[in-house]
Amino acid sequence: MLNEKVAALLNDQVNKEFYSAYLYLDFSNYFEARGLDGFANWYKIQAQEERDHAMLFYQYLHNNCAKVTLGTITKPDKVLDSDMTVLKAGLEHEMYVTDLINNIYAAAHEVKDFRTMQFLDWFVKEQGEEETNASDLISKMELFGSDPKGLYMLNSELSGRVYSAPSLTL
Q: What is the pLDDT along the chain (170 residues), one digit of tens a residue?
A: 899 999 999 999 999 999 999 999 999 999 999 999 999 999 999 999 999 999 999 999 999 999 999 999 999 998 999 999 999 999 999 999 999 999 999 999 999 999 999 999 999 999 999 999 999 999 999 999 889 999 999 999 999 988 887 776 66
Q: What is the pLDDT of residue 168?
A: 67
CA dist., res. 107 & res. 113, Å (int): 8
pLDDT at 169: 67
Contact 143, 150 (CB under 8 A): yes
pTM: 0.93
> 46, 53, 55: which is closest to 26 by C-alpha?
46
CB 93 within 8 A of CB 138: no
